[in-house]
Structure 1
């Protein structure tokens, strides 16, 4: 999470001079099922004072497989769990998360 510090600082500086633009949020991704990583990340990002999107993108082999084939999980398995996670994230971004 320390790697985010510089980026978050730059985003916040830009938001000050551009009336809140760009909007930014965190998304927990590459989480391993059965671990507490997602919970730990959620606690860590709270100090950055940027929103955290609801839901988690889990580390799934379909992402690597789809990428190596030149596709996305939405192309490869549109009704699969990975695609549902991606759609959930996209919906929050499209509808606005602030």
Structure 2
């Protein structure tokens, strides 16, 4: 998580000079559901004081496979991957209102 420090400091510095903009949130990807690591990541990121999206993407073959083809998972067949991306889009849109 230490790799986040520089970008978090840059975002917070910008927010201080622009009245809280840009809005920022962590996006957690490649999650292995029901593992202890998920909770540890949440705890570690909370220390930065920037929210984390509720929606996460899970470890799925569809993401690298479709990327090799130069496409989006929305073009593929993995419905779960599609649902993850659409849910993430919806959450980001809500945050931007």
TM-score normalised over the length of structure 2: 0.91
| Mapped contact 1:14–1:22 kept (Cα < 8 A) | yes
| Mapped contact 2:27–2:56 kept (Cα < 8 A) | yes
What is the CA distance between 1:55 and its match in structure 2? Answer: 2.5
> Where is the strand percentage greater, Structure 1 or Structure 2?
1
Note if 1:83 corresponds to 2:85. no
What is the CA distance between 1:63 and its match in structure 2? Answer: 0.3
| Mapped contact 1:28–1:38 kept (Cα < 8 A) | no
Aligned residues: 97
Q: Alpha carbon RMSD of aligned pairs, Å?
A: 1.7
TM-score normalised over the length of structure 1: 0.90
4+ runs deviating over 3 angstroms: none
Distance (Å, rounded) in 2 between the aligned partners of 1:12 and 1:51: 12
Note if 1:16 corresponds to 2:19. no
Give 5+ residue unaligned stretches, structure 1.
none
Give 5+ residue unaligned stretches, structure 2.
none
